[in-house]
Amino acid sequence: EAQVTQNPRYLITVTGKKLTVTCSQNMNHEYMSWYRQDPGLGLRQIYYSMNVEVTDKGDVPEGYKVSRKEKRNFPLILESPSPNQTSLYFCATSGQEVREQFFGPGTRLTVL
Amino acid sequence: DAKTTQPNSMESNEEEPVHLPCNHSTISGTDYIHWYRQLPSQGPEYVIHGLTSNVNNRMASLAIAEDRKSSTLILHRATLRDAAVYYCILSNFGNEKLTFGTGTRLTIIP
């Protein structure tokens, strides 16, 4: 079954404590990206990756890092989380020839 | 990025067809029209996409105006499970980025 998994699904943390949200896909897709969703603002892209070792900034990259060492994984790293990064985060993937993006189930992050 | 305009909300009766409109007057010749939906407490889900011609799949139909400045997502027979926020999105060929607006919240009345 085609899947995009995210872990953890829920996280409450404190300001400044580094955290990583993992994203993994089993579809051998080249393209992966991270979005955040906030009330009234819709989904906004944070970072994306066209393939292994190729990453680039989206619309709201400040305060986030990513890496793409393997095709299946695309972790989102918050080195020093702040309360304004409290949000619902989604990972998405698609293949090169496919216009359909698959989204993960989401990670709800609260930074106190 | 070219923008889309959708109504904030719509209601429809169960088992009736639903027509969800989208205006995209600044669309370029290479922009694809995508529709995604987001059910409560879930990630967005692909519905359909098209470029110039009308498209059908098992979930819905996409009707694209001849001048491509508007499109309509058609759910042929709405069920309660179709209650969701529907997003109309443009993306340029070769650019996988999706710019989500606020979408249309569809309520299905039993």
User: What DSSP string runs through chain A?
Assistant: ---EEEE-SEEEE-TT--EEEEEEESS--SEEEEEEEETTTEEEEEEEEEETTEEEE-S--TT-EE--SSSSB--EEESS--GGG-EEEEEEEE-SS----EE---EEEEE-
* Contact yes or no for B44 and A104 at CB 8 A: no
Rounded to a whole number of angstroms, the distance from the CA of A88 to the nearest CA of chain B is 10
Q: Which of A4, A45, A100 sits opposite B97 (nearest CB)?
A: A45
Rounded to a whole number of angstroms, the distance from the CA of A40 to the nearest CA of chain B is 7
- Confidence band for B1, pLDDT divided at 50, 70 and 90: low
Model pLDDT for residues B96-106, shown as the tens digit of each residue: 677 888 899 99
Q: Which of A3-7, A48-52, A107-111, B9-13 has the lowest mean pLDDT?
A: A48-52
pLDDT value, residue B98: 79
Residue A16 has pLDDT above 80, yes or no: yes
Binding-site residues on chain B for chain A (CB distance < 8 A): 32, 34, 36, 41-46, 49, 87, 96-103
* Contact yes or no for B45 and A106 at CB 8 A: no
What separation, in Å, do the N-terminal and C-terminal C-alpha atoms of chain A show?
37
Find the residue in B nearest to A43 (Cα): B100
pLDDT value, residue B30: 86
* Contact yes or no for A101 and B46 at CB 8 A: yes
Find the residue in A nearest to B90 (Cα): A99
Model pLDDT for residues B14-67, shown as the tens digit of each residue: 999 999 999 999 998 888 999 999 998 899 999 999 999 999 999 999 999 999
* Disruptive mutation site among A99, A102, A107 for chain B (greatest number of B CBs within 10 Å): A99
Going by C-alpha positions, the residue among B93, B20, B16, B33 that lies closest to residue B68 is B33
Find the residue in A nearest to B40 (Cα): A105
* Contact yes or no for B102 and A33 at CB 8 A: no
Residues in B closer than 8 angstroms to A104, CB to CB, are 43
pLDDT value, residue B93: 65
The CA distance from A55 to A37, in Å, is: 21
